[in-house]
Chain A
């Protein structure tokens, strides 16, 4: 670590980053691999995932079933070659995690148990009670400790990618504990920094989910793909945005409006049955359920609370025993944060920003168009998630594409010569740049929190579950204004030691760039597909938009949008059918 030079540098230490690091160490133990993260790896947001991870395991299931559910769930915007690779490698990766000690829930005979999940026709969701992400992350973190070649930069914040001689050769980062700004060289760089839910005010995403890696790649000239597709999860707790897992519905929970009516039956999602039915009603896909909420609200059928409108998620009929066995975390969260006990009371919920289907444009191996730069996990867009991700595909995606990207990044690194840039020069230049940007006295000084709040407001108002040209144009104007105001941000904290105000400023700068790419991509896509619903273009338009959007950053101008056709292998675009 002393010379700050590595074969592979992985930015982000969550599920994808750690899986990639282990892949590198296993494929070629001679390679020196480093994981750099702004938090200790076990704090990464993978930790919050609850419900489960999908992989075909049952005899009555098949890879084609999983692929079809994923592709139809994604409203045919998924690249089908990527989906095929994904479903094919998923069982092996899940099993690998079992061998590494993940405490998967079991059947009585000791084999792996699976549960149903939204949009999935057959039960294929592996789970570790309802703390699946937590157990996967800690298993990966603890397992990673046994590999000597894996080094770590814990609590370092990456501010810039280094591109020299036409390839990505490393990054510059701030060591938070000391304030040291340091260039780090690597023969290949992998971004695994997660999504950017913090562009929005009401989100299940943790505070750290500021899309840093997306912004790094975007500024280095790499396009962001399908950024207009933002998943609202239908069941978040009001105020906190804490997620109540889809497993709650998979185990038999009902969605009820203010009259106690299972309103999803009015939205072409099937007819209500007592027991959960796969791909039907409460087990429909997330985009359709969140859209149904808005329609129900417009009809005046939702309830009014302190923090806006909500509906009820009712699991009382499951009984205390089942709730404790299958959904203990849901009960814990309701008791701790909402002061209600779901054994006796209904849970108030509303749609909440949850996941970015879009992200850094990569191919099926996680390679970006910039040589030496790779990405995997939520930060990347391969795309297997299309216009709407199915619940329990993202945890599996971390493993499958984390492993893939680790393998190709290792191979690329093995064939590269040493870095060609001047390490001291890069370090000093970036340090001066940061000082000039934030530490100078400024006229009309702006506060970080004020700009962030206005960004949140305009993104929710203009770019939420339903969008129109007018709402998006309004957001676009406000964002332009906010970016100008951001240049007047000056921070009070001039300490070198753990300067969290500086981190917040850098994160906000990332979020503003990403917000702009989201709005521009949404404006350009004049159709409705999956999670992207335009009230001025209500139909899906396969003739013009069976294509991924690619947003390129332009200096002093709006992002440029290009389109890339979707890869279709054996599932031609069709109607999304749920509950019939």
Chain B
């Protein structure tokens, strides 16, 4: 017989209620089910009004991040039976305004990402006729890890600085800025550093590394932030000692 497990799910519909509440649902705890399968069971069989985002169910689209028993996870990559006998508490990702139920408002991230110019910046474009930019596997290795970010927002939920300072550009955006800074094809590092240097949040990051712990893709945003700090400090010294020299 399949065992059952209870999900305590955060509910909030701003056009119908002023305060959030929790609804309890008992679902089968199938061996192969992830948390997302249980939510889909609820939506299909018990309560069609429960709202959440999901799509690929294979850990790559980044839609289905939620707090499960207080930890930010991808619900498609978290097995349900690990939480037996339950109950399991499901909440929207922390540190974000809630649109409804388990759906958070993520336009803040979208805006911040655009601000750091996450694209190849070139003084002069190579023409297509001249072929590809040569990039050795080692050069690719310099930034590859940071290019793996799926924008799932788990690191923002884990970040104590973002929790206190919503202005902070945040772990994933810094990792993505570094992804381009470290790409041998890019020449936009200076422009991005100018933007990042205006952010006080970076200096408040204490390198506790919660962001890297929760990252499902091992992007290591904490490492990216540390590397940025070292580079920025070097440039600061350079600008002090050689004011005519340009930072890279």
Contact = CB atoms under 8 A, between A and B. Distances in A.
Interface of A: 39-40, 42-45, 47-48, 92, 95-96, 98-101, 103-112, 131, 134-135, 138, 142-143, 145-146, 154, 177, 206-208, 239-240, 242-243, 306, 332-333, 336-337, 447-449, 491-493, 495-501, 504
Interface in B49-71: 49, 51-63
A48 B120 contact: no
A252 to B, nearest CB: 20
B208 to A, nearest CB: 26
Contacts of B140: 103, 105-106
30 contacts: A39-B53, A39-B63, A42-B151, A43-B62, A43-B63, A45-B61, A47-B61, A96-B128, A99-B125, A101-B120, A103-B140, A103-B144, A103-B147, A105-B140, A107-B137, A131-B148, A143-B120, A145-B113, A206-B55, A242-B58, A333-B58, A333-B59, A447-B44, A492-B49, A493-B49, A495-B16, A498-B103, A500-B52, A501-B51, A504-B43
Contacts, number: 162
Interface of B: 13-16, 32, 43-45, 47-49, 51-63, 77, 99-101, 103, 106-107, 110, 113-114, 117-120, 125-126, 128, 131-137, 139-140, 143-144, 147-151, 176, 180, 183, 185-186
Given A491-B48, A497-B15, A498-B99, A106 B135 contact: yes
Given A40-B106, A42-B151, A495 B49 contact: yes
Chain A contact residues, majority secondary structure = loop
A101 B119 contact: yes
Nearest to B180: A101
B54 A207 contact: yes
Given A43-B62, A131-B60, A496 B132 contact: no
Contacts of A208: 55
A177 B56 contact: no
B48 A48 contact: no
Contacts of A111: 132, 134
Q: Which of B16, B49, B61, B183 has the most CB of A within 10 A?
A: B61
Contacts of B133: 98-99
B110 A40 contact: yes
Given A135-B147, A207-B57, A498-B51, 7 more contacts: A43-B55, A103-B147, A106-B140, A134-B150, A154-B107, A495-B15, A501-B48
B120 A112 contact: no
Contacts of A103: 140, 143-144, 147
Contacts of B186: 101
B120 A448 contact: no
- 7 residue pairs, one from A and one from B, having the closest CB atoms: A449-B44, A110-B134, A493-B49, A142-B118, A101-B120, A110-B136, A206-B55
